[in-house]
C-alpha cells in the first residue's frame, strides 16, 4: 500500500515535471517568436526601471503591461502607481483585519502601532489613488500644467512613502511578534512599489530620460 503510494507519487511528480518542461519550452518558443515586435516595449520597461531603487521588482511587476504601456512614460508611471495602490490597499485592509482579530492577543504597544498603521496606510492609499487619478489627466505632451500635475503626484507619492515608513517605525519598541513581523514585511514591500512608482514619476520631468 505504502509502496504503491510512493510509486504513485513519483509517477505524478514525473508527469508534472514533464508537463512543466513542455509548457516552459513552448512558452520560450512563443516568446522568441513574438520577441521582435515586443522587444522595444520590454526594453523600454527595463531602461525606465533601471533608474528605480528596486529595479528588478520594477521590471517584473511592469513587464506584463509592456504592450499596454507602449513606451509611453506617462502610462508607465500610471500603471506603476496603480500597482502600488493595489499593494498599499491590500496591506491596509490586512492591518485592519489583524487589529480586529488580534486585538486581545498582542501587547499594547503593538496594538497601538496597528491602530496608527491603519491611519497612515489609509492615508498612503488615498494619496496613491489621487496620484493615479492625476496621472490619468495628463495629456501626452509636456506643458506647464503637466509640470504642475507631476509635481502634485511627486508630493503625494513622497507623502505616501513617508506614511508607510511611519507605520513601520510605529513598531519600534513593540515586543517581537508574528503580527509585527508580518505587517513590517508587507509594508516594506508596499513601500518598494511606492518608491519605484515615485521614481518613474520623477522621470517624467527629468530632461535626460
Ligand atoms: C488599476 O488596477 C486595477 C486592478 O487593480 C484595474 O482594474 C484598473 O483598470 C487599473 N487602472 C489603471 C489606470 O491602470
Specify the residue with its C-alpha closest to ligand 1, atom 2: 82
Binding site membership of 78 for ligand 1 (Cβ less than 6 Å):
yes
Map out the domains of the chain as residue ranges.
Answer: 2-60, 72-203
Question: Which CATH number is 72-203 given?
Answer: 1.20.140.40
Task: Please give the helix or strand (H or E) that residue 42 lies within, else none.
Answer: helix 2-49
pLDDT of residue 138: 87
Extract the residue ranges of the chain whose pLDDT is less than 50. 1-37
pLDDT of residue 208: 55
Specify the residue with its C-alpha closest to ligand 1, atom 9: 82
Amino acid at each position: 500500500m505504502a509502496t504503491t503510494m510512493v510509486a504513485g507519487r513519483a509517477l505524478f511528480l514525473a508527469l508534472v515535471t514533464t508537463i512543466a518542461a513542455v509548457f516552459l519550452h513552448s512558452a520560450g518558443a512563443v516568446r522568441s517568436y513574438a520577441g521582435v515586435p515586443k522587444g522595444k516595449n520590454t526594453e523600454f520597461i527595463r531602461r525606465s526601471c533601471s533608474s528605480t531603487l528596486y529595479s528588478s521588482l520594477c521590471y517584473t511587476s511592469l513587464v506584463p503591461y509592456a504592450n499596454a504601456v507602449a513606451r509611453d512614460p506617462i502610462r508607465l508611471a500610471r500603471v506603476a502607481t496603480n500597482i502600488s495602490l493595489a499593494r498599499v490597499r491590500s496591506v491596509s485592509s490586512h492591518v485592519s483585519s489583524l487589529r480586529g482579530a488580534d486585538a486581545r492577543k498582542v501587547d499594547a504597544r503593538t496594538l497601538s502601532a496597528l491602530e496608527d498603521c491603519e491611519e497612515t496606510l489609509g492615508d498612503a492609499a488615498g494619496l496613491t489613488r489621487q496620484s493615479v487619478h492625476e496621472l490619468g489627466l495628463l495629456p501626452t505632451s509636456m506643458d506647464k500644467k503637466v509640470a504642475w500635475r507631476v509635481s502634485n503626484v511627486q508630493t503625494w507619492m513622497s507623502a505616501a512613502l513617508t506614511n508607510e515608513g511611519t507605520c513601520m517605525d510605529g513598531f519600534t519598541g513593540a515586543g517581537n511578534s508574528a503580527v509585527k513581523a508580518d505587517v513590517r514585511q508587507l509594508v516594506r514591500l508596499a513601500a518598494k512599489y511606492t518608491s519605484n512608482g515615485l521614481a518613474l514619476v520623477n522621470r517624467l520631468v527629468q530632461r535626460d530620460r
